[in-house]
Amino acid sequence: MLSWKTINKRVDVVDLLKRLEIEITERGDDFVVALCPNKLHDDQTPSWKMADGGEKNGLHYCFPCGFGGDAVKLIQYVKDFSINEALDFAKASCGRTSNFSIGDADGDMFGGEQSEIIEPKGLRKIRTDSNCGIYLKERSFGKQEIKRFGLMDWKWQRRVWIPITKNGKLLSWIARSYTGQKPKVMTPTDDRNHSWAMFGFDLLDFTEKEISLSEGWASAIRVYQAGFVNSIATCGSNLTEEQIFDLLSFEKIVVWQEGDLAGRIFSKKARQWFAGKQIEIVELPEKTDPENFTTNQLKKLYLNRRKKNG
């Protein structure tokens, strides 16, 4: 059973205020602003603020009149509910249950029978001036990449939410911290779709002959920015038979080899997985991946590799 404290931390503030018919007049990165709900305060200019995300999620306060508290107390006041009624009302806006697992890297995080999963609640569009938007901007990911790859801001978790789909069906997702908090990566507990899931798969143009493989989602986006439109991430250093089968229609496989042992092993396996295909290995310097380079640098690395191959 969810405790009072847990409910306040997990409640989706925007959804809750909508259900309470409290109109938001301003949205900051960590808060929302509205006219004060205090019935004794004739608020003419929005002065009431509520924390949206983080440890203070759901806490609210009006500086002019001192009206404040947490999300559950706000529900009690506005709806004239008992504590149990307020808790039940708040739960309907939560959706932030513990239905996710955690890991330190984008590893082999799926597995099992193909199915569609439900995305977590609390996802928002990424604002360019938000912490999430700034994090992506620092990595040279802008509006075009955000829109193309369906990136969202999971504000309560302080993470970039990265969907992994196939045929329009959500198979899995990655949630990457943009504040440096641990764990670095979250993935869904419902991980039955390992055999099919590849980041960017739904964006592939199967009329093209060439495809680029990277291990991580950010690397796949950087390779795409460099002009390699058919760029996907395998979300790990291995491929299943199902994933290999889905890529067999491509005649040329470009592997962006990360600069570590796992990357070298992946390239070696790729020659076996796609025997009979044209395999192009772009070897990156030690301890680097495509995200560490500019698009021009990636183009040069690719051209240099082509020269080595003759």
What CATH number does the domain containing 126 carry?
3.90.980
Check whether residue 181 and residue 233 sit in a common domain: no
At 32-46, the pLDDT tens digits run 999 999 999 999 999
The pLDDT value given to residue 53:
79
At 75-123, the pLDDT tens digits run 999 999 999 899 989 988 875 433 333 333 333 333 334 567 888 888 9
State the burial class of residue 150 (Cβ atoms within 10 Å of its Cβ: 0-12, 13-18, 19+).
Answer: middle
The pLDDT value given to residue 310:
41
The pLDDT value given to residue 108:
35
Which residue matches tokens 């931390």?
Answer: 9
Check whether residue 192 and residue 212 sit in a common domain: no
Mean of the per-residue pLDDT values of the chain = 86
Listed residue (256, 253, 157, 274) closest to 214, CA to CA: 256
Percent of the chain with pLDDT over 90: 58
Looking at 73, 91, 109, the residue that finishes a domain is: 91
Q: How confident is the model at residue 195 (pLDDT cuts 50, 70, 90)?
A: confident
User: How is 174-191 classified by DSSP, letter by letter?
Assistant: EEEESS-PSSSEEEES--
The set of residues, in sequence order, having a beta carbon less than 8 Å from that of 147 and lying 6+ positions away, is none
Check whether residue 84 and residue 106 sit in a common domain: no
Check whether residue 189 and residue 238 sit in a common domain: no
The pLDDT value given to residue 16:
92
Task: Indicate whether 177 pLDDT > 90.
Answer: yes
Look at the pTM and tell me if it is higher than 0.75: no
Q: How many domains does the chain have?
A: 3
- Average pLDDT of the residues in 281-310: 87
The pLDDT value given to residue 307:
52
How far does the chain reach from its first CA to its final CA, in angstroms? 65
The pLDDT value given to residue 248:
83
Which residue matches tokens 């992994």?
Answer: 164
The pLDDT value given to residue 197:
86
Does 183 sit behind a cis peptide bond, omega within 30 degrees of 0 on the bond before it?
yes
Check whether residue 29 and residue 77 sit in a common domain: yes
The pLDDT value given to residue 306:
60
At 255-280, the pLDDT tens digits run 999 999 889 999 999 998 898 899 99
Check whether residue 220 and residue 306 sit in a common domain: yes
State the burial class of residue 57 (Cβ atoms within 10 Å of its Cβ: 0-12, 13-18, 19+).
Answer: buried
At 226-243, the pLDDT tens digits run 999 999 999 888 888 778
What's the CATH number where 238 sits? 3.40.1360.10
Residues 216 and 233 sit within 8 Å (Cβ to Cβ): yes
Check whether residue 167 and residue 204 sit in a common domain: no
Looking at 69, 91, 113, the residue that finishes a domain is: 91
Check whether residue 225 and residue 301 sit in a common domain: yes
Domain range for 171: 99-197
Looking at 37, 56, 91, the residue that finishes a domain is: 91
Check whether residue 291 and residue 235 sit in a common domain: yes
Check whether residue 155 and residue 105 sit in a common domain: yes
